[in-house]
Chains A and B, each alone.
Chain A
Amino acid sequence: MKVLVPVKRVIDYNVKVRVKADGTGVDLANVKMSMNPFDEIAVEEAIRLKEAGKADEIVVVSIGVKQAQETLRTALAMGADRAILVTAADDVHTDIEPLAVAKILAAVAKEENPGLIIAGKQAIDNDMNATGQMLAALLGWSQATFASEVAVDGDTATVTREVDGGLQTVKVKMPAVITADLRLNEPRYASLPNIMKAKKKPLDEKTAADYGVDVSPRLTVVKTSEPPVRQAGIKVGSVDELVSKLKEAGAL
């Protein structure tokens, strides 16, 4: 079985986000970028399926600016077999919407015929939490989102999902789209020899036009602003003082 894993290049999760003063967005120039953390978990899960003999090839895809090639190399160094870069923007500030990303991924899936697509549940930049669900819809496939455990058995996958009330287990027919939640696994670090080997693994370069997908946005960003800043209050010296302050504030 072939597993397809989409990966996104996003601002590194340790970087403090700065909103541009003119309200046009978030400053991404000269900022450290990394693979979206949920996508790392998705890549790791695919590698574990391959190590368990359930998958034989892992193809990673990234859609965005050409610099996403670095993100694909990271995935190849972790253990993916080959990569497809779909260039769909020139400016690092252009975020391709989940609907357009899903359309491109659907076109890739039709060429590649994977048995399973594992995606991160959301990207930590636009926080949409949508691409996997949209991709499943466009392909007419089953979906299992927010996965914390995946068991593949023949033509079905049994997936435990993190939901509001606790955990839910569903059985989905393959091919399927699974989206990875935090506790699915702990992604490995790429070793130096594997980073070197990854440079020689195949990476196909495509454009959105190659797949006939119009990536123009449906949502126009009117403005991007700083959230209201919460002021720090006071330090109290003891539990007694805390209790009396809370009573004064009518909180207890």
Chain B
Amino acid sequence: MAVLLLADVANGQLAKDAVSKTVSAVAALGDVHVLVAGEGGDAAAAEAATIAGVAKVIFAGDHGFCHLLAEPTADLIVSMAGAYSHIAAPSASDAKNILPRVAALLDVMILSDVTAVVDGDTFERPIYAGNAIQTVKSADSVKVMTIRTTSFEAAADGNSAPVEALGTAASTGLSEWVEDKVAASDRPELTSAKIVVSGGRGVGSEEDFKIIEALADKLGAAVGASRAAVDSGFAPNDWQVGQTGKVVAPEVYIACGISGAIQHLAGMKDSKIIVAINKDEEAPIFQVADFGLVADLFDAVPELTGKV
């Protein structure tokens, strides 16, 4: 049997790193067919076809699939499901919105945030904010799952899989897209950046977050934030790293003024090197940091920016 993989596409841009890691996660389960949905996704479909391990790309170009609204996109996937043993997607906000709907329509359970594929029926996934890892075996005929991409390596490049057009029209009527408010940024994308500089409650204000951003820009890094910093309005929600925000695993994660609450650690503890800068030497973040600096971030972060 084959695997249907819903590509993560926003405004015509393929999240190639995430899709590539998802391809490598499911490659052993069968031929991988990547579904790119939405008018204007031609370039994304062509790019998906270059990922090694992709047997074909299916491009459903109807306008109604733009913005990947849950109701029409779930109906599309369900209409295709008969040919597949597994339906997967990178664990991004669109997939988390769509795939549980798909699973319920197929009368199967969802497997959320899969971190290891043991065999075609057996998967590992974190529970309790990553404080436990559960191995589960599914009895369902089709496995519908989201993949936590930080647990997998990207597949190679250089493929030229065929791209098939699918003329299915989107079902309509339940919901409509109004607008996206996406901050334009030249910084790398948070979940695929090599370096992430994050600020927490200790940063103190939106204004002072600029010192975090300055270090990030000097390093060519993405900017992250703890839930406390986002809740306090210091940083926008799309910067949040943690159990309910983004899960990242960069080469270097620099946590500034972050205490290290469990739910934050859940989002970054797989980073290769963790640096913590915090004036409280008892902060739990130091228990996971490779390099800890007990210092006032308002002194240490600008100094670091000057020296890297």
Contacts and interface: CB of A to CB of B under 8 A. Distances in A.
B288 interface: yes
Contacts of B108: 99, 218
A134 B106 CA distance: 10
A110 interface: no
A92 to B, nearest CB: 15
Given A146-B97, A235-B292, 19 more contacts: A26-B127, A26-B128, A26-B131, A122-B244, A124-B129, A127-B112, A130-B100, A131-B100, A134-B103, A141-B174, A143-B71, A165-B10, A167-B181, A183-B231, A219-B137, A221-B134, A222-B135, A224-B127, A242-B291
B176 A171 contact: yes
A11 B110 contact: no
Given A173-B173, A222-B135, A245-B291, A182 B231 contact: yes
Chain B interface, >50% SS class = mixed
A145 B70 contact: yes
B222 interface: no
Contacts of A171: 175-176, 178
Contact of A220 (B100, B139, B238, B269): B139
B205 interface: no
B69 interface: yes
- Please classify how large the interface on chain B is, using the bins under 10, 10 to 19, 20 to 34, 35 or more: 35 or more
Contacts of A39: none
B156 interface: no
Interface stretch (A80-88, A189-197, A205-213, A226-234): A226-234
A227 B183 CA distance: 35
A36 to B, nearest CB: 12
Contacts of B97: 133, 143, 145-146
Interface stretch (B35-43, B51-59, B299-307): B299-307
Interface in B7-65: 10
A148 B237 contact: yes
Interface centre among B175, B288, B294, by most chain A C-beta atoms within 10 angstroms, is B175
A132 B103 CA distance: 12
Contacts of A130: 100, 103, 110, 112
10 contacts: A133-B99, A137-B74, A142-B71, A164-B93, A164-B94, A164-B191, A182-B244, A183-B231, A239-B293, A252-B219
Contacts of A183: 230-231, 237
B101 interface: yes
Nearest to B190: A164
Interface in B231-270: 231, 236-238, 243-244, 246, 251-252, 262, 269
B213 interface: no
A169 to B, nearest CB: 4
Contact of B137 (A99, A122, A222, A252): A222
A206 to B, nearest CB: 21
A113 interface: no
B128 A11 contact: yes
B262 to A, nearest CB: 8
Contacts of B288: 230, 232
Contacts of A144: 175
Interface in B161-179: 173-179
A246 interface: yes
Interface in A114-167: 121-122, 124-138, 141-146, 148, 158, 161-167
Contacts of B238: 162-167
Contact of A234 (B93, B292, B308): B292
B80 interface: no
A219 B109 contact: yes
Interface in B89-130: 92-94, 96-105, 107-113, 122, 126-130
Given A219-B136, A221-B134, A242-B291, A172 B174 contact: yes
A223 interface: yes
A90 B135 CA distance: 23
Contacts of A162: 93, 237-238
A166 B291 contact: no
Interface centre among B100, B107, B111, by most chain A C-beta atoms within 10 angstroms, is B100
B133 interface: yes
Contacts of A21: none
Given A142-B174, A182-B244, A226 B294 contact: no
Nearest to A14: B262
A126 B132 contact: no
Contacts of B96: 129, 145-146
A224 B300 CA distance: 41
B30 to A, nearest CB: 20
A181 to B, nearest CB: 7
Nearest to B251: A251
B104 A97 contact: no
A222 B101 contact: no
Contact of B128 (A125, A142, A232): A125
B138 interface: yes
B82 to A, nearest CB: 17
B308 to A, nearest CB: 6
